[in-house]
């Protein structure tokens, strides 16, 4: 059964300013129709221990009658000094424990950004060793808690479906797969439908978002690897074939959360609510639903 979720990142400007609480974001998400909310690691406060905050977040979600769909963490494992690598892996293992405390069945991770000085000449193949070793440890810890780990196609260095698939295959753990973000492929100038087709069988979580693409910078946009420009869109109003991408993962057997990420310039409450309506319509058009 597919579930509809929204990422707390859709509320980023108001969460960052303090004008909206996580609980209030949950309440709005539920009123818009979403059944789940996705938590991100940078929404923990430094004023209190994370385990206590996890208990509070889970209680708030229960009070608002909304599930926590996924715990998203950020990491860069292109590290070649053992102490720094181990420090990050230890933090990721603690994140697995937080995911279990939140009661989620999936945790989203990253792999790496481009290597930094003095290792800037390291290739993707060079980076595979520390990346796979770290993510394998995370997957093994997560498996003991019954949690799947999804690697997102995020960033310019390992954002392509080919590289994401290579990392998944190198990690080689049965609970380690892809968090497919159908919009992010445009950052590396990859066709979302083709990319989703390559990764669909590995999907453990799906982010649904849309983008506008421009040949020239229209302002408030970001460059793709090939020099075009992208900007967030209301789901269903950009260039991503949302229905086709969802159809592909469903036909591959995926029955988890469709987690909406709104990153457009429109009013975020409008963008989140309209995104839900359009997402439901996309799923209703599928020839195979579940």
| Segment 252-283, tens digit of pLDDT | 999 999 999 999 999 999 999 999 999 999 99
- Can you tell me the distance from the alpha carbon of 270 to that of 240, in angstroms, rounded to the nearest whole number? 19
- Is position 47 within any domain? yes
- Can you tell me the distance from the alpha carbon of 1 to that of 99, in angstroms, rounded to the nearest whole number? 22
- Is position 185 within any domain? yes
Tokens of 140: 């093994």
Tokens of 253: 């057997």
Q: Is the pLDDT of residue 173 over 70?
A: yes
- Is position 264 within any domain? yes
What does the DSSP 8-state code read for residue 116?
P
- Is position 229 within any domain? yes
pLDDT for 289: 44
Q: Is the pLDDT of residue 290 over 50?
A: no
pTM above 0.95, yes or no: yes
Number of domains the chain is built from: 1
- Can you tell me the distance from the alpha carbon of 270 to that of 276, in angstroms, rounded to the nearest whole number? 10
CATH code of the domain in which 216 resides = 3.20.20.150
- Is position 289 within any domain? no
Average pLDDT over residues 117-143: 98
pLDDT for 287: 76
- Can you tell me the distance from the alpha carbon of 50 to that of 286, in angstroms, rounded to the nearest whole number? 40
Q: Is the pLDDT of residue 222 over 80?
A: yes
* 143 in Cβ contact with 177 (< 8 Å): no
Q: What is the pLDDT of residues 75-90, one digit of tens each?
A: 999 999 999 999 999 9
Give me the sheet containing 229-233, strands edge to edge. 210-214, 229-233, 222-223
Q: Sorting pLDDT into bands at 50, 70 and 90, what band is 219? A: very high
- Is position 10 within any domain? yes
What does the DSSP 8-state code read for residue 46?
T
- Is position 260 within any domain? yes
- Say if residue 118 is preceded by a cis peptide, omega within 30 of 0: yes
Q: What is the pLDDT of residues 24-37, one digit of tens each?
A: 999 999 999 999 99
Domain ranges, residue 156: 3-284
- Is position 290 within any domain? no
Q: Is the pLDDT of residue 225 over 80?
A: yes
């Amino acid at each position: 059964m597919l579930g509809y979720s929204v990422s707390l990142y859709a509320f980023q400007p108001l969460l960052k300013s303090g004008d909206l609480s996580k609980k209030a974001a949950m309440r709005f998400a539920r009123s818009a129709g979403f059944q789940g909310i996705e938590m991100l690691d940078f929404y923990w406060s430094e004023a209190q221990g994370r385990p206590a905050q996890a208990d509070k977040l889970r209680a708030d979600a229960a009070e608002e009658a909304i599930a926590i769909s996924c715990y998203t963490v950020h990491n860069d494992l292109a590290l070649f000094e053992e102490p720094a690598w181990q420090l990050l892996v230890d933090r990721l293992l603690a994140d697995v424990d937080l995911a279990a405390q939140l009661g989620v069945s999936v945790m989203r991770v990253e792999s790496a950004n481009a290597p930094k000085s003095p290792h800037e000449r390291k290739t993707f193949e060079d980076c595979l060793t520390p990346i796979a070793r770290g993510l394998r440890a995370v997957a093994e810890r997560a498996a003991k808690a019954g949690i799947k780990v999804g690697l997102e196609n995020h960033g310019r260095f390992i954002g392509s479906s080919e590289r994401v698939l290579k990392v998944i295959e190198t990690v080689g753990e049965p609970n380690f797969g892809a968090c497919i973000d159908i919009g992010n492929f445009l950052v590396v100038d990859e066709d979302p439908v083709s990319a989703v087709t390559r990764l669909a069988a590995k999907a453990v979580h799906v982010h649904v978002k849309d983008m506008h693409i421009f040949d020239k910078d229209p302002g408030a946009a970001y460059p793709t690897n090939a020099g075009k420009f992208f900007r967030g869109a209301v789901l269903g109003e950009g260039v991503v074939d949302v229905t086709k991408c969802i159809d592909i993962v469903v036909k591959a057997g995926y029955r988890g959360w469709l987690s909406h990420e709104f990153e457009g310039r429109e009013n975020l409450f409008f963008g989140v609510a309209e995104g839900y309506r359009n997402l439901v319509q996309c799923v209703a058009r599928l020839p195979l639903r579940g």
